[in-house]
Amino acid sequence: MSRFDFSNYKLDEADGVFTFKNENTTLGFVRFNDQGEVEYIFVNPIFRKKGIAKKLLNLVKDKTGKLPIPQDPISPLGKKLFKII
């Protein structure tokens, strides 16, 4: 995994959604509830394997004060992701 410079991208937060984006594209986003349950997480394929999903999940943890919990159904890739946080 390469080190990614988040300083060139904007972090938006609205109604239980964190989104990393710039004026041209969305890198990724996560939708969650107050219990820390992750309803959806997406990272643009161009930006995968750079720690963006982990960064988004850490934002959820910081916001809710709880470890993020995946909601079913979850993809095999998602199951792998939640094992590393």
pLDDT digit string, tens, across residues 23-60: 889 999 999 999 999 988 999 999 999 999 999 999 99
pLDDT at 85 over 90: no
Please report whether residue 20 resides in a domain: yes
pLDDT at 3 over 80: no
Task: Show contacts of 48-55: CB within 8 Å, 24+ apart.
Answer: 49/1, 49/2, 50/1, 50/2, 50/4, 51/1, 51/3, 51/4, 52/4, 52/20, 52/27, 52/28, 53/28, 53/81, 54/81, 54/84, 54/85, 55/6, 55/20
**Residue 38 domain boundaries:** 6-73
Q: What is the CATH number of the domain that holds 50?
A: 3.40.630.30
Q: What is the mean pLDDT of the chain?
A: 86
Please report whether residue 15 resides in a domain: yes
pLDDT at 83 over 80: no
pLDDT at 61 over 80: yes
